[in-house]
Amino acid sequence: MNRSPFGGWAAAMALLAALALASGCATAELAHEHAAPSVSAGPSISPSPALTAAATEDLRDPAQVVSENGLLKTRIVVERKKVPLAGRQLWALTYNGLYMPPTLRLKPGDRMEITFENRIDKQTNLHVHGMHVSPGGNSDNIFLAVQPGKTFTYKYQFLKSLEPGTYWYHPHPHTLSAAQTAGGMSGLVVVDGLDRYMPRPLRGITEHVIALKDFQIVADRIKTDNLKMGAPTTRTVNGQLNPRIHIKPGETQLWRIANVGANIFYKVALPGSRFHVVAQDGYPVNKVYSADSIVIPAGARYDVLVQGGKAGTTELMTQPYNSGKAGNQFPQATLATVDTSGEAVRQATLPTTFGPVDDLAKAPVAARKTIVFTENSAGTQFYINKKQFDHNRVDFRSKLDTVEEWTIRNNSDEVHSFHVHTNDFQVMSINGKPQVNYGFQDTVDVPVRGNMVVRTRFLDYSGRTVLHCHILNHEDEGMMAVLQIDK
In this prediction, residues 278-284 reach a mean pLDDT of 98
Q: Minimum mean pLDDT among 45-59, 238-252, 371-385: which range?
A: 45-59
Q: How confident is the model at residue 229 (pLDDT cuts 50, 70, 90)?
A: very high
9: which residues sit within 8 A by CB, 6+ positions away?
none
Nearest-angstrom CA–CA distance, 17 and 26? 9
Question: 170, 213, 185, 172: which is closest to 97 by C-alpha?
Answer: 185
Across the chain, mean pLDDT equals: 92
Q: In this predicted model, what pLDDT tens digit does every residue of 433-481 receive, in sequence order?
A: 999 999 999 999 999 999 999 999 999 999 999 999 999 999 999 999 9
In this prediction, residues 248-264 reach a mean pLDDT of 98
pLDDT score for 479: 98
Nearest-angstrom CA–CA distance, 13 and 9? 6
CATH superfamily of 197-340: Cupredoxins -  blue copper proteins (2.60.40.420)
Question: 339, 348, 337: which is closest to 251 by C-alpha?
Answer: 348
pLDDT score for 43: 54
pLDDT score for 377: 95
pLDDT score for 45: 81
In this prediction, residues 277-305 reach a mean pLDDT of 98
Q: What are the φ and ψ backbone dihedral angles of 30, each rounded to 5 degrees?
A: -60, 145
Nearest-angstrom CA–CA distance, 335 and 267? 11
* Alpha-carbon distances of 371 from 134, 336, 486, rounded to whole Å: 23, 38, 19
* 367-486 CATH fold: Immunoglobulin-like (2.60.40)
pLDDT score for 46: 87
Name the segment(s) of the chain with CATH classification 2.60.40.420. Answer: 7-193, 197-340, 367-486
pLDDT score for 38: 35
Residue 1 has pLDDT above 50, yes or no: no
- Pick 107 or 3 by higher pLDDT: 107
Amino acid 363 reads A
Which residues lie across from 486 on neighbouring strands? 399
Query: Dihedral sign, CA of 432, 436, 441, 444?
Result: negative
Alpha-carbon dihedral of residues 432, 459, 169, 36, nearest 10 degrees? 90
Whole-model pTM? 0.91
Q: How confident is the model at residue 115 (pLDDT cuts 50, 70, 90)?
A: very high
Residue 378 has pLDDT above 90, yes or no: yes
CATH code of domain 7-193: 2.60.40.420
Question: 128, 191, 115: which is closest to 154 by C-alpha?
Answer: 115
Which residues lie across from 62 on neighbouring strands? none
In this prediction, residues 388-401 reach a mean pLDDT of 98
- Percent of the chain scored above 90 by pLDDT? 90
Q: Which uninterrupted H or E stretch holds 18?
A: helix 7-22
For residue 196, the 8-state DSSP code is G
Q: How confident is the model at residue 143 (pLDDT cuts 50, 70, 90)?
A: very high
For residue 441, the 8-state DSSP code is B
Nearest-angstrom CA–CA distance, 142 and 342? 47
* Alpha-carbon distances of 9 from 6, 84, 173, 188, 352, rounded to whole Å: 6, 19, 28, 21, 46
Q: How confident is the model at residue 428 (pLDDT cuts 50, 70, 90)?
A: very high
Question: 18, 184, 188, 228: which is closest to 91 by C-alpha?
Answer: 184
Q: How confident is the model at residue 10 (pLDDT cuts 50, 70, 90)?
A: very low
